[in-house]
C-alpha cells in the first residue's frame, strides 16, 4: 500500500496529464490560439474523467501540485510541468463545480 495521500496520487495524475498537455501544445500547428486552448480543454476533461468530479478533491490535488511547483522553481522544465498540472486541476475543479446539481442554500 502506498504512503501517498489521495491528493498526492491525484497530483501525480495531474502532473502526467500536464506533461502530455505541454507536449501536445508543442506539436506543429499547436501555436494557433484555438488549437492551444483546445489542447488544454481536452486534457482538462481527461483529468476530470480520471480523478472524478469532486471540486474539493481536484483543488486538493492543485494545492499539492502548487507546493511541488514551489519546490521545483529552480528547475524551469519541472516548474512548467507542475504549473500546468495546477492549471488543469483548477480548470477541472471549476468544471466539476458547474456540473454539480443545484443545491439549496448559500455556497
Cα angle 50, 35, 96 (rounded to 5 degrees) comes to: 30
Reported as half-sphere exposure (CB side, CA atoms, 13 A), residue 72 has a value of 17
pLDDT of residue 100: 64
Domain extent at residue 31: 6-98
Q: Rounded to two decimals, what is the model's pTM?
A: 0.84
Would you say residue 66 lies in a domain?
yes
Measured CA to CA in angstroms, residue 59 lies from 10, 67, 97, 98 at distances of 10, 12, 11, 14
Would 69 be classed as within a structural domain?
yes
Work out how many domains the chain is built from and give that number.
1
What's the longest Cα–Cα distance across the chain? 48
In a domain, 12, yes or no: yes
**Angle CA 69–73–77, to nearest 5:** 85
> What pLDDT is recorded for position 27?
77
Per-residue pLDDT at 76: 96
Amino acid at each position: 500500500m502506498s504512503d501517498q495521500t489521495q491528493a498526492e496520487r491525484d497530483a501525480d495524475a495531474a502532473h502526467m496529464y500536464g506533461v502530455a498537455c505541454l507536449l501536445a501544445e508543442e506539436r506543429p500547428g499547436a501555436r494557433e490560439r484555438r488549437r492551444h486552448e483546445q489542447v488544454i480543454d481536452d486534457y482538462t476533461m481527461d483529468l476530470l474523467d480520471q480523478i472524478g468530479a469532486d471540486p474539493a478533491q481536484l483543488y486538493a490535488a492543485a494545492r499539492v501540485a502548487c507546493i511541488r511547483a514551489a519546490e521545483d522553481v529552480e528547475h524551469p522544465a519541472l516548474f512548467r510541468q507542475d504549473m500546468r498540472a495546477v492549471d488543469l486541476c483548477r480548470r477541472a475543479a471549476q468544471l466539476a463545480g458547474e456540473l454539480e446539481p443545484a443545491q439549496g442554500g448559500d455556497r
